[in-house]
Amino acid sequence: MKARFTNDEGQAIIEYALVLALIAIVTIAALKALGGDISLLLHRVSSQMSSVSNP
């Protein structure tokens, strides 16, 4: 019975899941905050690349 309460395998899995969820939430928040800026930057790069002529 005591071994049942000292098994930390399930606890480790839960901790990894919580860390992964936190990383996902932070990543989504950062992408939402910077989404417009990244889109604008990629549009500018695309415009510059299309205006370059090939020799």
Distances (CA, A) of 33 to 25, 43, 49: 12, 17, 26
pLDDT in tens, 2-55: 555 666 677 888 999 999 999 999 999 988 888 788 888 889 999 988 887 766
**Domains of the chain: total:** 1
Owning domain of residue 13: 2-48
Q: What angle do CA 19, 25, 27 make, to 5 degrees?
A: 100
- How many whole angstroms separate alpha carbon 20 and alpha carbon 28? 12
In a domain? residue 7: yes
User: How much is the pTM?
Assistant: 0.55
Distances (CA, A) of 51 to 37, 40, 42: 21, 17, 14
In a domain? residue 32: yes
In a domain? residue 23: yes
In a domain? residue 17: yes
HSE-CB of 17 using CA atoms within 13 angstroms? 6
Q: What is the pLDDT of residue 2?
A: 58
